[in-house]
């Protein structure tokens, strides 16, 4: 709908006005930079998400970063041992806000079939998780579905981020 009166009329339909928060949320949701913490077969399945058949670049997430300071989405794919837990926690702490976490596969979500003293029984024991992806290993479509769930959370930034900021997360490694 074109504006017909005032100074705005000279622009016609070529100008869009919105709130700054909405524009920033749209930009964040359309340009995710994932950091993959892959340790097992789930990481191999994630690699196929970047192929032409599944094409994660349709969602703006093809720039996989291997530096936590440049990433805003951590994808934990695979079994995490108790020795790896402090490393994972340190990498999570190095990521800038707002940061998102996706736990992929049975081993990352709940320890999988490794019910022993060396395996962490779910990464949510040390860091907060936003989206869980089931499967052993999860299909590439499940990774894309998890990414779309993260994008839905980013579309309404105020509500979810304020709720998460109020949340007092205390993991195993927090002193």
- Look at the chain and report how many structural domains it folds into: 1
Would residue 37 count as lying in a domain? yes
Would residue 73 count as lying in a domain? yes
Tokens (6 digits) for 133: 């992806």
By CB atoms closer than 10 A (0-12, 13-18, 19+), residue 133 is: buried
The answer to pTM > 0.95 is no
Would residue 99 count as lying in a domain? yes
Would residue 135 count as lying in a domain? yes
CATH number for the domain that contains residue 146: 3.40.50.12280
Rg (CA), the chain: 19
Domain range spanning residue 87?
33-157
Phi-psi region of 124 (alpha: psi -120 to 50; beta: other; left: phi over 0): alpha
**What is the chain's pLDDT, residue by residue, as a tens digit (175 residues)?**
555 666 666 666 676 677 777 777 777 777 788 888 888 888 888 888 888 788 887 777 777 878 888 888 899 998 899 999 999 999 999 988 888 899 998 888 888 888 888 889 989 889 999 999 988 888 989 989 998 898 888 877 667 777 776 777 777 777 6
Would residue 12 count as lying in a domain? no
In angstroms, the CA 90 to CA 35 distance is: 13
């Amino acid at each position: 709908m074109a504006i017909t009166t005032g100074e705005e009329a000279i622009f016609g339909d070529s100008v869009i006005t919105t709130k700054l928060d909405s524009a920033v949320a749209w930009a964040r949701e359309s340009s995710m930079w994932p950091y993959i913490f892959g340790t097992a077969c789930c990481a191999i399945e994630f690699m196929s998400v970047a192929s032409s058949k599944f094409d994660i670049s349709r969602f703006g997430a093809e720039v996989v970063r291997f530096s936590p300071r440049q990433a805003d989405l951590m994808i934990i794919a695979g079994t995490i041992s108790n020795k790896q837990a402090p490393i994972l926690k340190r990498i999570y702490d190095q990521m800038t806000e707002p940061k998102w976490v996706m736990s992929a596969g049975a081993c990352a979500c709940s320890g999988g079939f490794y019910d022993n003293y060396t395996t962490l029984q779910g990464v949510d024991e040390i860091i907060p998780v936003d989206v869980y992806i089931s499967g052993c290993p999860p299909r590439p479509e499940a990774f894309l579905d998890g990414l779309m769930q993260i994008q839905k959370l980013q579309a309404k930034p105020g509500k979810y981020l304020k709720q998460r900021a109020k949340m007092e997360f205390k993991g195993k490694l927090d002193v």
